Chain A
Amino acid sequence: MDQSQTTLPRRFKVVGQRKRRPDGIDKVTGRARFGADMTMPGMLWGLVLRSPHAHARIRSIDSSKAEALPGVKAVVTGADFNGERNDVSINCMAGDKALYDGHAVAAVAATSRQAARQALKLIEVDYEVLPHVTDVDAAMKPGAPVIREDLITAGVEPVPTKPSNVAARHEIGKGDVEKGFAEADLIVEQSFRTEATHQGYIEPHACVASVSPDGSAELWVCTQGHFMVRNVCAALLGLDSAQLRVTASEIGGGFGGKTTVFVEPVALALSRKANRPVKIQMTRSEVFRATGPTASSSIDCKIGLTKDGRITAAQAELRYQGGAFKGAGADFGAMAIFTPYDIENVKAVAWDVVTNRPKLAAYRAPGAPMAAFAAESTLDEAARRLGMDPLELRLKNAAREGTKAAYGPTFPRIGLASCLEAIGNSAHYRTPLGPNQGRGLACGFWFNFGGETCTTINVNKDGTVGLSVGTPDIGGSRASMCAMAAEELGIPYEKVRTVIADTASLGYNDVTDGSRVTFSSGLCTIQAARQAIQRLCQRAALMWGIDAEAVVWEDGHAKPAGPNAGKFEPLSLAEIAAASANTGGPIAGHHEVNAEGAGVSFGVHLCDLEVDRETGSVRVVRYTAAQDAGKAVNPDYVEGQMQGGSAQGIGWALNEGYVYGDDGRLQNAGFLDYRIPVASDLPMIDALIVEEPNPGHPYGVRGVGETSIVPPLAAVGNALRDALGVRLTETPMAPPRVLAALAAAAE
């Protein structure tokens, strides 16, 4: 697709308005049906047996006693996964080794949850406990327990002969960093660590599977991508994609954590064996122990600058662990780390490491928040040493249209400088701080994805419009799809109903991730509407008996144009639809695309916080987030994404983190001990929407879902530095670390 979809600035009628959400009534009355809300006739309850060991060889599994228990209808183990036995399959059900505390080793289906619970206790697993490692730096050391005997480091020369925990090395760069550092008047070098955090969606994973003896199957599931679920489950279990029909339920939060499968293939395997529908709903403890948290990281960062604040070189080494499987996302971190700035000499080396922890899943801008924590903290330190305003330093180096990023692309129109200016012009930026308070600023970048997408518009005979999209609505996309369809068709917002079509009703759609839906499904919706308009015009031409080329579409009406202008009364969408039986039958529009031109996203956050020096307690007292939305389709939803991501980032910065014991077990697998921010922890989060149109979208839309979690770690860290006079370099920056830092500074 060309990079110039956006035409002249247009006056929108629906897009940009704060329209009421179409799913509002269902969600305030309890009618909305989430993953756990489905039941089927004859349904069994499935439960999963999980390893209590961080690392253990599974010598044998004896399920005979469990199978003999009344009410138990099926037991499955890894042996029942008869399709591809890849990493996802092994993560869903262990093979010959349990790779982390919580790793699934068997599952049962029984007529009641009570019977299933009893059956789990009767399954005898003979474990040979092995040495484990859960820390990224420890896992890289020579002599560390090797977790995957077949893992040979990719991306290094010569190719290693022995397996290790290092899955891959990646390098991103441009220019010559040695030369750049030689030109610098000041070099700042620091190291940072971030602990793994969990997406923390309030709805645990849940699904109901029903496999018929003829091989056809139904799956109801809360997921960010039901087409992905279909393809992956079919591959893991040797089913035909066409036979497996997956329906996406309402989803109670995902943030990236529901972009893969965990219990879905297990429920299908149990149902296939029991010949009855099976429901599995995870407990909160299972969610923490066995679904994807983020990577934890260890990063060294070095930035060189001239006296007047120009960055001459930037270098980083990023080490991420993403659990017991390769793919920790350090490469995303390396690509993102210095991207907000126009720097001639950049080098970022990323190490992808495995440990005895659950396999990571995406979490909102995966890999980027920790990288930004390192880069933006280092830059803050540089501004202090240069005596420069941190905003001025960033504006001076900000990436702009034409800047070539170290990871490859040359940017078209982007909004970083506009976001910096919005923050600079805010009342917040000029408000003096109180005692024991500090202020921190940080920038953030996220790529934004496009991807495979298709949508169908059906024009109904009563003049309403049904829009089918294939991307589950996790952030309000049904509202934005309704708005874009209504905008293009020229009909009221309320006349459009958007549904998430099941996998049997629409072509393949990539997962709802990468902030891609408002962009990609929106683009598809606009194009499908344009096709429907073309057909509506053809039908109007037939009704008038003139050439279709002589009809134009304006304000929801077909109008005769050219030589016929004014000869006929305009026909509304409803009038054309009502007569469709006489003009060729149903009227629809469809579009499919592998969308490109998503338009990168930048944001800038400003954080004020207050420290209690006696207890180490930190309170965020004011927070402002500016972000480029390209064009905000529904400002309520855009603000919601900015505020929600900020809140998650503040939690990551101050409170959240996985705690592993020496035994390799997760010690805080519940919301009591893994504390996410509550309402009283947070101030008002002021959202400043910046609109620099994305040239890759007809309305200029950019994805807005993820960037908001990128700056907060550093914004909070920089504010803490300002308040304390000492810098914290490890998250969570919880009271014990604050007190330790103060004590160290006092010595």
Chain B
Amino acid sequence: MSGKRLVRMTVNGSPVEEAVEPRLLLSDFLRQVLGLTGTHVGCEHGVCGACTVRVDGSTARACLMFAVQAEGCRIVTVEGLGPAEALSPLQEAFREHHGLQCGFCTPGMLMTALDLIEKYPLASDAEIREGLSGNLCRCTGYEHIVAAVRAAAQRRREPSS
């Protein structure tokens, strides 16, 4: 087995430094080394989107990256979405609008949806559906997820409403 390599990154605002196998996936690093099990693994080949995280502000599939590729990056996982004492508006909207059933796809959905409403705050329903189409959900038929994202986007535009 090849030697371990030191990798440094920021995860949810905290600096992290670990020696890892070069072949260790970022998803496994987050889950097994850091204990951040909110990043879920559904397919290991980048299709289901359950492992979606933010890498330097862009969404990425943690199952398609090696941990060493995240050297020097800022990683945000679902655990880092909200302030410690409360939910983020997007998380609140998912809870409020029943935007989940089993909840397994939810962390990846939230990470993708955050990117979507930040980049396209005026997204129509069709655009929200398009934007979420890299994330699989088998429970909901997506109806309530779209409603939750729509509500979060609206709240972002009109914080007082």
Q: Is B19 an interface residue (CB 8 A)?
A: no
Q: Report if A28-B136 is in contact (Cβ < 8 Å); known contacts: A203-B102, A680-B130.
A: no
Q: Is the CB of A640 within 8 A of B101?
A: yes
How big is chain B's contact interface, by range? Answer: 35 or more
Q: Is the CB of B100 within 8 A of A28?
A: yes
Q: How long is the Cα–Cα vector from A250 to B38 in the complex, in angstroms?
A: 12
Q: Report if A679-B145 is in contact (Cβ < 8 Å); known contacts: A27-B106, A644-B101.
A: yes
Q: How long is the Cα–Cα vector from A474 to B139 in the complex, in angstroms?
A: 10
Closest chain A residue to B93, Cβ basis: A28
Q: Is A682 an interface residue (CB 8 A)?
A: yes
Q: Is A227 an interface residue (CB 8 A)?
A: no
Could you tell me which residues of chain B, from 120 to 161, have a CB within 8 Å of some CB in chain A?
A: 125-126, 128-130, 132-146
Q: Is the CB of A30 within 8 A of B132?
A: no
Q: Is A549 an interface residue (CB 8 A)?
A: no
A286 to chain B, nearest CB (A): 10
Q: Which residues of A contact B66 (CB under 8 A)?
A: none
Q: Is the CB of B44 within 8 A of A30?
A: no
Binds A, one of B54-62, B67-75, B79-87: B79-87
Closest chain A residue to B28, Cβ basis: A113
- Provide the A96-117 mask, 1 if CB < 8 A to any CB of B, else 0: 0000000000000000001000
- Contacts across chains A and B counted by CB atoms under 8 Å: 175
Q: Report if A644-B138 is in contact (Cβ < 8 Å); known contacts: A25-B87, A29-B87, A34-B40.
A: yes
Q: Is the CB of A252 within 8 A of B141?
A: no
Q: Is A647 an interface residue (CB 8 A)?
A: yes
Q: Which residues of B contact A685 (CB under 8 A)?
A: 141, 143
Q: Is A509 an interface residue (CB 8 A)?
A: no
Could you tell me which residues of chain A, from 194 to 214, have a CB within 8 Å of some CB in chain B?
A: 199-204
Q: Is A284 an interface residue (CB 8 A)?
A: yes
Could you tell me which residues of chain B, from 34 to 66, have a CB within 8 Å of some CB in chain A?
A: 36-45, 47-48, 50
Q: How long is the Cα–Cα vector from A203 to B103 in the complex, in angstroms?
A: 10
Q: Which residues of A contact B78 (CB under 8 A)?
A: 28-30
Q: How long is the Cα–Cα vector from A685 to B146 in the complex, in angstroms?
A: 12
Q: Is the CB of B82 within 8 A of A29?
A: yes
- Provide the A471-482 mask, 1 if CB < 8 A to any CB of B, else 0: 000111000000
Which of B37, B95, B110, B128 interacts with A25 by CB under 8 Å? B95
A365 to chain B, nearest CB (A): 16
B75 to chain A, nearest CB (A): 13
Q: Which residues of B contact A33 (CB under 8 A)?
A: 37
Which of B107, B133, B138 interacts with A201 by CB under 8 Å? B138
Q: Is A568 an interface residue (CB 8 A)?
A: no
Which of B87, B103, B130, B146 interacts with A250 by CB under 8 Å? B103
Q: Is the CB of B101 within 8 A of A476?
A: yes
Which of A24, A639, A670 interacts with B47 by CB under 8 Å? A670
Could you tell me which residues of chain B, from 1 to 48, have a CB within 8 Å of some CB in chain A?
A: 1, 21, 23, 31-32, 36-45, 47-48
Q: Which residues of A contact B50 (CB under 8 A)?
A: 202
Q: Is the CB of A646 within 8 A of B141?
A: yes
Which of A202, A255, A679 interacts with B132 by CB under 8 Å? A679
A296 to chain B, nearest CB (A): 20
A198 to chain B, nearest CB (A): 10
Secondary structure call for the B interface: loop
Q: How long is the Cα–Cα vector from A643 to B145 in the complex, in angstroms?
A: 12
Q: Report if A202-B136 is in contact (Cβ < 8 Å); known contacts: A34-B40, A644-B101.
A: yes
Q: Report if A24-B43 is in contact (Cβ < 8 Å); known contacts: A29-B81, A680-B130.
A: no
Q: Is the CB of B81 within 8 A of A679?
A: no
Q: Is A676 an interface residue (CB 8 A)?
A: yes
Q: Is the CB of A636 within 8 A of B144?
A: yes
Which of B44, B87, B141, B143 interacts with A28 by CB under 8 Å? B87
Which of A25, A283, A682 interacts with B141 by CB under 8 Å? A682
Q: With a 10 A CB-CB cut-off, give which of B87, B94, B134, B138 has the most chain A CB atoms.
A: B138
Q: Is the CB of A204 within 8 A of B42?
A: yes
Q: Which residues of A contact B138 (CB under 8 A)?
A: 199-202, 253, 255, 644, 648, 676
B13 to chain A, nearest CB (A): 15
Q: Is the CB of B1 within 8 A of A636?
A: no
Q: Which residues of B contact A1 (CB under 8 A)?
A: none
Q: Which residues of A contact B146 (CB under 8 A)?
A: 679
Q: Which residues of B contact A640 (CB under 8 A)?
A: 98, 101, 139-141, 143-144
Q: Is the CB of B98 within 8 A of A680?
A: no
Q: With a 10 A CB-CB cut-off, give which of A29, A253, A679 has the most chain B CB atoms.
A: A679
Q: Is the CB of A644 within 8 A of B130?
A: no
Q: Report if A672-B45 is in contact (Cβ < 8 Å); known contacts: A32-B103, A252-B40, A637-B98.
A: yes
Q: With a 10 A CB-CB cut-off, give which of A34, A39, A251 has the most chain B CB atoms.
A: A34
Q: How long is the Cα–Cα vector from A686 to B133 in the complex, in angstroms?
A: 20
Q: Is the CB of B87 within 8 A of A202?
A: no
B114 to chain A, nearest CB (A): 12
A285 to chain B, nearest CB (A): 8
Q: Is A124 an interface residue (CB 8 A)?
A: no
Could you tell me which residues of chain A, from 614 to 661, have a CB within 8 Å of some CB in chain B?
A: 636-637, 639-640, 643-648
A629 to chain B, nearest CB (A): 16
Closest chain B residue to A118, Cβ basis: B1
Q: Beyond the given A29-B81, A36-B37, could you list 7 further A-B residue pairs with CB under 8 A, ordered by the A residue number? A: A31-B38, A202-B105, A283-B44, A475-B101, A636-B98, A644-B101, A679-B129
**Interchain Cβ contacts under 8 Å between A and B, 16 examples:** A25-B87, A26-B103, A28-B81, A29-B87, A30-B36, A30-B107, A34-B37, A34-B104, A202-B40, A202-B42, A284-B45, A476-B101, A639-B143, A672-B47, A678-B133, A679-B146
**A: which residues have CB within 8 A of B?**
18, 20-21, 23-34, 36-37, 39, 114, 199-204, 250-253, 255, 283-284, 474-476, 636-637, 639-640, 643-648, 670-672, 676, 678-682, 684-685
